Structure 1
Amino acid sequence: MTEQFNCHYCKETLFGKKYILQEEKPYCVKCYESLYSNTCEECKKPIACDNKDLSYKDHHWHEACFNCFQCKQSLVDKPFSTKDERLLCTECFTNMYSSVCHECKKAIIPGTRKIEHKGNSWHETCFICHHCQQPMGTKSFIPKDDKNYCAPCYEKQFAMHCVQCKKAITTGGITYHDQPWHKECFLCAGCKKPLTGQQFTSRDEFAYCLDCFSHLYAKKCAGCTNPIIGLGGTKYISFEERQWHNDCFNCKKCAVSLVGCGFLTEQDDILCPECGKNL
C-alpha cells in the first residue's frame, strides 16, 4: 500500500507536484503562498515562492518592485536610504534631504563628516579660517561679521589685549577705565581676589573690593564706628571732621534723629535742643 503524501492544509496529494516544507510539514505551492507569503510593500501583492523576496526592517518587496521612490531606478545590490518608510537611492536622498555646504553650496552626503554652527553646515574640508584658509575641523574658532577665524588668526587680527597680562582676550572680558581686562585678571588691589560680579570701588586708579577699601580708606562713623561706604548713594553727615551714617546721627540721650534738625554738642556727644536745655 502506497503511503499518502498530501498537503498539510488542503490535503491534496503532492505526488509529482512541487511543494514547500514549513515547520517540517509539506504544503502545496498555492496553500503555502496563501498562508505564509509576504506582501510586497510596493504593489501589495503576495511574493510568490519562485520570486526573490527582498526585505528591510520587516518590510518586503518583489525584486522588480525594490526601486527608488523618486527616480524609480532599481536599488538591488545598491546603497539606499529611507525617509518616511520610502526607499531612496543615495543621490535622490542627498538632493532631497541632505544639508548644503555653506561654503561650496554642494550637498553634504549622509554619513560624511560635517561641521554645524548657527544653523549652517559645512563639509569638514570646507570649514576653513577666513584669514589663513586652513581647515579648522573641530578646533576652536571665533566668528566675526559672518566669517569664522581660527584662534591664532583672530588674535592677530582683532583681539584686544589684557592691560594686566598683555595676552589676547578671545572669550569675553571687562572694561575698566576704558581699558580691557580678562575677567580673571581684574583683581582687588588689596587682597587680589577677583572683582568680576562683585561690588567694588576705586582710589588712585586702583580697584578695591568693599572690605579692602573700608579697611584702608573709608571714614568711620562716629556713632557705630563702622566704615561709611559711599556706594549706591549712601548718605552721611559730616561735622567738625567727624562723620555719621544718617541712621546713626541721633541725640545721645533720647536717640531722636537729628538729620536736618538743629543740634548741640557736649564734648564728643551730639544732643537735640531739648536735651541740651537740661544740661
Structure 2
Amino acid sequence: MTTVQFDCQYCTVSLLGKKYVLKDDNPYCVSCYDHIFSNYCEECKEPIESDSKDLCYKDRHWHEGCFKCTKCNHSLVEKPFAAKDERLLCTDCYSNECSSRCFHCKKTIMPGSRKMEFKGNYWHETCFVCEHCRQPIGTKPLISKESGNYCVLCFEKQFAHYCNFCKKVITSGGVTFHDQLWHKECFLCSGCRKELCEEEFMSRDDYPFCLDCYHHLFAKKCAACSKSITGLRGAKFICFQDRQWHSECFNCGKCSVSLVGEGFLTQNNEIFCRKCGSEAATDIK
C-alpha cells in the first residue's frame, strides 16, 4: 500500500494529521504560513497570525482587538468610522474634531449632512434662514446686515432705500446728496449726464454738476485772465464791486506787483498800486 506524501510547501515537514493552511493551492504548516504570509498590525506591530482575525482598511491591517478609535479607544469592529490624517476615528470623535460647527446653533454639522457656507461660516441648512421671515434661504439671493441675513423681499420691506433717480431699491452702497440717495450709476451730472460717483462735482440750486459743466455754466470769470474762478481746494480769489480776480491775477496793471492785501487805486477798468495809480492820475492831469 502506497503512502500519500503531504508536506509543507516551505519546510517540507509532513502535514499528515496536522493543522495546515492552503495558500495558492499549496499547503503550509501553521508556523511557516505565519512566518511567511502574516500581515503586521498597524497598532501593536505584531504579526496577525492565521488563528487571528485580520481586519484590513486601505492596505493596512489590524488585529480585531487593535481595531479601535485612536481618540476614545472604543472598538471600531462592525461600526462606522472615518479616517483623518491616517488615524481612524469613530463618527462621534470625527464629528467633534473635524466637522464644522453651525454658526447659528453651535452644534456639529455631521458628515454627509448638507451645510450652507457664507462669508467663511457654516450653517445647517435648516438654520440658514432669513432673520425676518425665518424661512430657509438655501441658494436664493440674500442681503447681509450686521443684524443677520435677509431674503431680498424681507430686506426691501424692512430696510431698503430707493434711488432718487430711478426709484428702484438700493441694496448696497449708493451716494448721498442733500439727504437723498442715488445708485452710484444713477448719480449723474445735471449738464452732460456723466457719472459723478468717482468725480469731483459742485452743486447749483440742489443739482450736481461736474466741474467742467459747472465752470462752463456758472463760474465767474477772472477780470484779468478771463478763466473761470472756482474756489476749489482752498483757492483764493478777490472780489471788488462786480468784478473778480484769481489771487495770483490781482496785480497792478502797470508794474504787475501783487495787490493782495495792499491798498490799490482804480481807473476806468484798471487797477493800480498806489504809486502807479498816482502817476497815472498825474499823467491824466
TM-score by length of 2: 0.78
Any residues of structure 2 matched to 1:232-243 within 5 Å, and which? 232-243=233-244
- The whole-number CA distance in structure 2 between the counterparts of 1:30 and 1:193 is 92
Q: Does 1:177 align with 2:185?
A: no
Question: Which amino acid counterpart does residue 91 of structure 1 have in structure 2?
Answer: D
Q: Does 1:74 align with 2:56?
A: no
**Cα deviation 1:56-111 (Å, max 9, x = unaligned):** 456432243222232513244x4422234321122332244423334455421123
Q: Does 1:251 align with 2:268?
A: no
Q: 1:139 is matched with which residue?
A: 140
Contact 1:162–1:169 (Cα < 8 Å) also in 2: yes
Question: Which amino acid counterpart does residue 72 of structure 1 have in structure 2?
Answer: H
Change in Cα spacing, 1:64 to 1:267, as seen in structure 2 (3 Å) is same
Q: 2:283 is matched with which residue?
A: none
| Number of residue equivalences | 269
SS at 1:91 equivalent: helix
Any residues of structure 2 matched to 1:42-81 within 5 Å, and which? 42-48=43-49, 51-56=52-57, 59-69=60-70, 70=72, 72-76=74-78, 78-81=79-82
Q: Does 1:89 align with 2:90?
A: yes
SS at 1:73 equivalent: coil
Question: Which amino acid counterpart does residue 65 of structure 1 have in structure 2?
Answer: C
- The whole-number CA distance in structure 2 between the counterparts of 1:206 and 1:62 is 84
Change in Cα spacing, 1:230 to 1:63, as seen in structure 2 (3 Å) is same
Of 101-110 and 188-197, deviating more is 101-110
Unaligned runs of 5+ in 1: none
- The whole-number CA distance in structure 2 between the counterparts of 1:140 and 1:214 is 44
Any residues of structure 2 matched to 1:88-237 within 5 Å, and which? 88-117=89-118, 120-237=121-238
SS at 1:232 equivalent: helix
Contact 2:65–2:75 (Cα < 8 Å) also in 1: no
**How many angstroms does 1:260 deviate by?**
0.7
**How many angstroms does 1:217 deviate by?**
0.2
Question: Which amino acid counterpart does residue 272 of structure 1 have in structure 2?
Answer: C
Unaligned runs of 5+ in 2: 281-285
- The whole-number CA distance in structure 2 between the counterparts of 1:269 and 1:57 is 100
**Cα deviation 1:148-193 (Å, max 9, x = unaligned):** 2101111012212222222222112222111222222211111111
Change in Cα spacing, 1:31 to 1:171, as seen in structure 2 (3 Å) is farther
SS at 1:107 equivalent: coil
- The whole-number CA distance in structure 2 between the counterparts of 1:276 and 1:35 is 122
Q: Does 1:39 align with 2:60?
A: no
- The whole-number CA distance in structure 2 between the counterparts of 1:219 and 1:120 is 57
Report sequence identity in percent.
Answer: 57
Q: Which has the larger radius of gyration?
A: 2
* Over 6 Å off, 4+ runs: 26-29
Contact 1:99–1:108 (Cα < 8 Å) also in 2: yes
Contact 2:254–2:272 (Cα < 8 Å) also in 1: yes
**How many angstroms does 1:253 deviate by?**
3.8
**Cα deviation 1:197-233 (Å, max 9, x = unaligned):** 3211111111111111111100111222221112333
CA RMSD, Structure 1 to Structure 2 (Å): 3.3
SS at 2:209 equivalent: strand
Contact 1:64–1:74 (Cα < 8 Å) also in 2: no
- The whole-number CA distance in structure 1 between the counterparts of 2:167 and 2:118 is 30
- The whole-number CA distance in structure 2 between the counterparts of 1:250 and 1:130 is 67
TM-score by length of 1: 0.80
